[in-house]
Amino acid sequence: MTRRQLLASLAPAAMAQTGAATRFQLACMTLPYSPYPFERALKGIRAAGYDYVAWGTTHPDSSGKRAPLLDWKAPSSRARELAAVTKDHGLTPVMMFSTVNLESPDSPDAHARRVDQCAAAGIPFLLTFGKTEAGQREQAIRCLKHAGPLARKAGVLITIKQHGGNTATGADCSRIIADVADEGVKMCYDSGNVLDYDNHDPLPDIKACWRDVRAFAIKDHRNWPTDTDCGPGFGEIDHYKLLEPVMRTGLTMPLAFENIFEPAVARPTTAEGVDALARRAREYVDTVIRGLSAPRKA
């Protein structure tokens, strides 16, 4: 499916429960591998059984210094080079971060540049967010109104996710999407952040906003015995109930694994330890999807 074909499938009418199964793309982010080089992240993600990947934000460069994987000011040719490296490792890139908050003064220019980078790399989803506290929401709306038409023209979809403030819940993000009123801007649902920032329950929340959801930032959250985000299945969120509303949209929908770590214990000290958690997260979510897809007994 090309980017333009994918974008065409995102029309509002497609978001009725059509009866056609949603095509989920399980994509591990390179974010959990941020202490390791980008190519080591790709190697581990592929070995963990993924076909898709979402680019993280920073990795050690050739000198060993942590640096942005792709600065928003970098030429689009750099995004094309990274996409080639990704594909050489047997992975298809489907999402990348904006890394610039929606309310930032340079957000319109940054998001326009990110759209160009996505298009050059063949990445259909640009993930963005912001706190949009009081007085900042209007800047976020201006940014998205500017970037939305550019994204549609480029065959890219901008997806906002929950990040506190006026974007704390899916319902909050739906209100922003309604105000932007551009089919180039939709939602990437982050249930971990919904539970984390203001302790909202994501299960009733997603029922109020699922028609705007085009992707998920997959992670979990625990409020006890420690307040922390964690990998899916390690927290308090029921992913069966979380994904059920979007099981039959007829859309292609990436599930980007943002956090795969165990709660209340130290993170792995080796890349191989991260590999094991990446595999476990994929197997858990795959089990959830297969369970929800299975015929129900009368």
Per-residue pLDDT tens digits for 147-178: 999 999 999 999 999 999 999 999 999 999 99
Q: What is the pLDDT of residue 9?
A: 46
pLDDT band at 296 (very low <50, low <70, confident <90, very high): confident
CB environment 224-248: b (16+ within 10 A), e (fewer): eeeebbbbbbbbebebeebbbbbeb
d(CA 23, CA 78): 29
13, two tokens: 């009418």
φ/ψ (deg, to 5) at 149: -60, -35
Which residue, chain included where needed, has tokens 């390179």? 30
50 near 28, Cβ under 8 Å? Answer: yes
Radius of gyration, CA atoms only, the chain: 18
Report the share of the chain in percent with pLDDT over 90.
90
- In the chain, what percentage of residues exceed pLDDT 70? 94
Q: Is the overall model pTM greater than 0.85, yes or no?
A: yes
Q: How confident is the model over 225-283, as pLDDT tens digits?
A: 999 999 999 999 999 999 999 999 999 999 999 999 999 999 999 999 999 999 999 99
The Cα angle at residue 195 between residues 25 and 163, in degrees rounded to 5: 75
**For residue 19, what pLDDT band results from cuts at 50, 70 and 90?**
confident
pLDDT in tens, 107-151: 999 999 999 999 999 999 999 999 878 889 999 999 999 999 999
Name all domains of the chain by residue range, CATH numbers in brackets: 3-293 (3.20.20.150)
DSSP H or E segment with residue 143: helix 137-154
What gap in Å lies between CA 16 and CA 118, rounded to an integer? 28
Per DSSP (E only), the strands in 47-113 are: 52-55, 58-60, 66-68, 92-97
Give residues with Cβ within 8 angstroms of 13, minimum separation 6.
none
Report DSSP state, residue 52: E
